[in-house]
Chains A and B, each alone.
Chain A
Amino acid sequence: MRVSERSAAVVLGLLLLLAGSLGARAEVWESALQKFASDSYNETDAAIAGVAASGNPRAADVIEALQDGRLFFDEDKRVYTRDKAGTLSDAATGKSADAATAALKPVRINNRIRRSIEAALGGLTLLSTDPMRRLEAAQAVFKSKDGKALAALEQAIGKETDAGIKRALEAARAAVLLYSSTASEGEKIEAVGQILRRGDQDARGLLAGLPAEGPESVRRAVADAIVAIDDRLAAWGVVQNLWYGLSLGSVLLLAAIGLAITFGVMGVINMAHGEMVMLGAYTTFLVQEVIRGSAPWLFDYSLAIAIPLAFLVAGLIGIAIERGVIRFLYGRPLETLLATWGISLILQQAVRTSFGPTNREVGAPHFMAGAFELGGLTITWNRLWIIVFAGIIFVLLLAALRFTTLGLYMRAVTQNRRMASAMAIPTGRIDALTFALGSGIAGLAGVALSQIDNVSPNLGQGYIIDSFLVVVFGGVGNLWGTLVGALSLGVANKFLEPYAGAVLGKILLLVIVILFIQKRPRGLFALKGRAVEA
């Protein structure tokens, strides 16, 4: 009984205390806001500190409004914020308010105030409810090493539930401690350990930038950490080169795989192949234009819509080229080269006259925008999707040639035209369809390449020589050869680049391929048998 009475009294006391402190905090908030209305830089600075310390949930909004010049006061010393849409609200409560716009004066800021704003926002956003903003704030503190943020950091680390953000916050705290003049030797060494755990280029820069003073033990820890980070970065550098190589390889594969059909399987030296890629890219552009104009909500699906259309457009033009020109030239491979080169000039000029010579903008749907981190690697979504896309196309094409009737006919006609004809396979139609397939796949490549390259009439020109090299390097008439050729050329290119530079690396690669073809004139995976001496 007495126990319960006493506990009730304690609870009551606590409640009273809480109410009192809340009241006091509300008072701090109000009085800090008031200072904005005094129209003096010193008072504004004090107001920022007060607002930031108040812990009020609206603090960040108010300071951001100040930063953007959306904070106002009137003659009655009431402070208002105006949000980005233009509606005015009471700064203290956030309720919408109406005041005579003419009587409002903006709170002025100068460079000193701007610095205070940034520091305050850094501290405030550390406690934001949006995880992305917390992460950004942690990164910002990591870079600024601002000692004032330490208290907010400690608080944020205590509250943080997301492991990734917590690591970032701890690294930021370590950075602050390492650069602070008051932290102890032990704290600093521990901080070095934490920064080492982060282990990226920024961490290395942070450690390397530490002034060469302070205790011997800290300096040794820093030096060791730098070596460790360098090792780690070197290892990630290799992984990154591999990734870039894979990415470039997938682009080469996309560009070359259609050619592997028209050139590799049919023996047509299709110099207009690059233009099929370009037509695919322009189809994507047109689809997006239509969607932007009439159905913006479809934008994220624009690529999905463009894929079949690009295949159709390029495929139909492919049929037209095959029926109109190439079928007269079978058996004269070098002359298909000339005729298709002529076609490529015509197509380029046609696109140039109808769309203009400048680059056209093709947007990225939201799932292809941005990037994510994987260890020490930044992976952009569009590159990842292109690799996936190239893989899917490769597998589908392989399956189509292997398992469908059309694929069977194609292989039959390629291997022995007369026998195929005798088996009642319509060879002429199969020729046209094979060429259409190769061209259509080039169109698909165009959809993907529109995401990473300039969509201009010259788009295809940039890929044609590389595509031929891939097909020839891998071995004509062999899809697996094309895959291996594309990936090895891509990876080799990216590993040569850091040593030789982009252009010289490319030249070296061309020379290597030229030498390789001397050694194996039929490519990596040479066809054997009767087809050899073609």
Chain B
Amino acid sequence: MITRRLLEAPDGGGRIFLGVLVGLAVLVPVLNLALPPSSPLHVPTSTVALWGKYLCYALLALSLDLVWGYCGILSLGHGAFFALGGYAMGMYLMRQIGTRGVYAHPVLPDFMVFLNWPELPFYWWGFNWFPYALLMVFLVPGTLAFVFGWFAFRSRVTGVYLSIITQALTYALMLGFFRNNFGFGGNNGLTDFKDILGFNVQSAPTRATLFALSALALAASYLIAQAVVRSKAGKILVAVRDEESRTRFLGYRVENYKTFVFTLSAAMAALAGALYVPQVGIINPSEFAPANSIEVVIWVAVGGRGTLIGAALGALIVNYAKTTFTTGLLAPYWLFALGGLFVLVTIFLPKGILGLMRKGSPSAASAPDTPPSRLDDARKVPTRAAAGRGREFAKDALAPVRPGAATRIQPAE
């Protein structure tokens, strides 16, 4: 029954998206492994690894879109969940190195031998066992998101404040992971991986499999996210995004919905991180850098906030552009391009690329997952009226409970 609900969720665009992902998951490994390098249809292993990485980014963007696009929680710390998932996977991979490390220690990873750790710290126990590591991939970031969200949403930390404390969270984690005595390899992070489940991480078949898994993980996460936003709970989430106080006054426990979607999203981000690490071969504390998390936001904004597919597309497009830009003569100008993208997209493309495409086809305009109507209103009002200050914005939400303010003077801007 769950399967049926999951499969019923996607609309036309979603089915195409899923079809493409599944197609890629099957086709790319075949084209990479079965065809000889001389064949024009052969996909080189480096391309497989690169696009596998992009797919992980797409999954991360999807997870952020779930909270930002549908619940209005602009998390500037989603990179933290991604990196934590990555570290959990990295720890498993480190334990798999065994005696093949530089110091050939049977238990301790190289950096611990180097730093004279006497024994494995307790939080590394069990990571040599894949199911446990996989559990931790979800459990650690999920628990962090749950506890963090529980406290933050219950105290009604919203909007900008929430963005800033999520940023502080990832910043604090970055500082911590940079320390050698945290036991996660300090600023070198975890690297030199040998194999995963007995397969060589570097080999072409493993890479192709990881690519296929990334594509399938993205498809599965899309299905889950789509099912969530199409459900009744999803409607509440959108209500929270547009009028949080009003939703609360209608009797909904806003904080529960937010905590749920935040935790789910963190788990997706962690899965992306776990798939990312074996493909790039390293995880280090710079993944926690606040700038990375902000970059994820722009992927979502470029693709189209509140569209899920758009977020994934945005991640693929921006990262493809980044690779193209930063490897050629244009390398010094990449940050200009990225910065310009931030500015132009927020001003001219509030609905992202997908919004632009949907504007072209009126049949899709009524799709239930169109971006927030508030944005439309704000853009329709021509001049200064649209320029209501942030703090005036949405203040009417409180009006019904305050005597003397029962009549709304200012329309929502």
A positions within 8 Å CB-CB of B: 263, 266-269, 271, 325, 327-339, 341-346, 348-350, 352-353, 414, 417-418, 421, 427-428, 431, 461, 465, 468-469, 472, 477, 503-504, 506-507, 510-511, 513-515, 517-519, 521-522, 530-534
**Closest Cβ–Cβ distance, residue B242 to chain A (whole Å):** 13
Chain A residues contacting B157 (CB-CB under 8 Å) are 517-518, 521
Chain A residues contacting B167 (CB-CB under 8 Å) are 465, 468
Specify the chain A residue showing the minimal Cβ separation from B335: A349
Tell me whether B350 is interfacial, beta carbon within 8 Å: yes
- The reply to whether A266 and B161 contact each other, CB–CB distance below 8 Å, is no
Tell me whether B206 is interfacial, beta carbon within 8 Å: no
- The reply to whether A507 and B347 contact each other, CB–CB distance below 8 Å, is no
Pick from B179, B343, B387, B395: contact of A533, CB under 8 Å: B395
The answer for the CA separation of A338 and B338 in the assembled complex, in Å, is: 11
**Closest Cβ–Cβ distance, residue A523 to chain B (whole Å):** 8
Tell me whether B171 is interfacial, beta carbon within 8 Å: yes
Pick from A328, A329, A350, A521: contact of B161, CB under 8 Å: A521
**Closest Cβ–Cβ distance, residue B373 to chain A (whole Å):** 13
- The reply to whether B176 and A507 contact each other, CB–CB distance below 8 Å, is yes
Specify the chain B residue showing the minimal Cβ separation from A421: B384
Specify the chain A residue showing the minimal Cβ separation from B398: A533
**Interface residues contributed by chain B, number (CB under 8 Å):** 62
Chain A residues contacting B121 (CB-CB under 8 Å) are none
Pick from A331, A350, A504: contact of B386, CB under 8 Å: A331
Given contacts A334-B159, A338-B298, A506-B172, 15 further A-B contacts (CB under 8 A): A266-B389, A267-B390, A330-B386, A338-B294, A342-B341, A345-B338, A345-B339, A414-B389, A417-B387, A417-B388, A468-B167, A477-B391, A514-B172, A521-B157, A533-B397
Chain B residues contacting A427 (CB-CB under 8 Å) are 384
A-B contact list, 8 entries, CB within 8 Å: A325-B347, A331-B386, A353-B332, A472-B165, A506-B175, A514-B168, A517-B161, A534-B393
The answer for the CA separation of A504 and B182 in the assembled complex, in Å, is: 10
- The reply to whether A344 and B339 contact each other, CB–CB distance below 8 Å, is yes
**Closest Cβ–Cβ distance, residue A430 to chain B (whole Å):** 12
Chain A residues contacting B151 (CB-CB under 8 Å) are 515, 518
- The reply to whether B179 and A328 contact each other, CB–CB distance below 8 Å, is no
Pick from A325, A331, A337, A348: contact of B74, CB under 8 Å: A337
- The reply to whether A518 and B168 contact each other, CB–CB distance below 8 Å, is no
Once A and B bind, how many residue pairs between them come within 8 Å at the CB atom? Answer: 184
The answer for the CA separation of A298 and B339 in the assembled complex, in Å, is: 38
**Closest Cβ–Cβ distance, residue A507 to chain B (whole Å):** 5
> A335 with B179: in contact, given A342-B341, A531-B391, A532-B398 (CB under 8 Å)?
no
Chain A residues contacting B200 (CB-CB under 8 Å) are none
- The reply to whether A267 and B178 contact each other, CB–CB distance below 8 Å, is no
> Nearest 8 A-B pairs (CB), nearest first?
A342-B342, A534-B391, A267-B390, A345-B339, A346-B339, A349-B335, A330-B387, A333-B390
Pick from B245, B290, B342, B389: contact of A331, CB under 8 Å: B389
**Closest Cβ–Cβ distance, residue A456 to chain B (whole Å):** 15
Pick from B172, B339, B393: contact of A333, CB under 8 Å: B393
Specify the chain B residue showing the minimal Cβ separation from A508: B172
Chain A residues contacting B159 (CB-CB under 8 Å) are 333-334, 534
The answer for the CA separation of A465 and B395 in the assembled complex, in Å, is: 27
> A503 with B388: in contact, given A346-B340, A418-B410 (CB under 8 Å)?
no
**Closest Cβ–Cβ distance, residue B288 to chain A (whole Å):** 12
**Closest Cβ–Cβ distance, residue A261 to chain B (whole Å):** 14
Tell me whether B7 is interfacial, beta carbon within 8 Å: no
Pick from B155, B178, B336, B389: contact of A330, CB under 8 Å: B389
> A417 with B392: in contact, given A335-B346, A342-B343 (CB under 8 Å)?
yes
Specify the chain B residue showing the minimal Cβ separation from A344: B339
The answer for the CA separation of A427 and B384 in the assembled complex, in Å, is: 9
Specify the chain A residue showing the minimal Cβ separation from B391: A534
Chain A residues contacting B398 (CB-CB under 8 Å) are 530, 532-533
Which residues of B, 159-204, contact A by the 8 Å Cβ criterion? 159-161, 163-165, 167-169, 171-172, 175-176, 178-179
Chain A residues contacting B345 (CB-CB under 8 Å) are 338
Specify the chain A residue showing the minimal Cβ separation from B381: A331
Specify the chain B residue showing the minimal Cβ separation from A269: B160
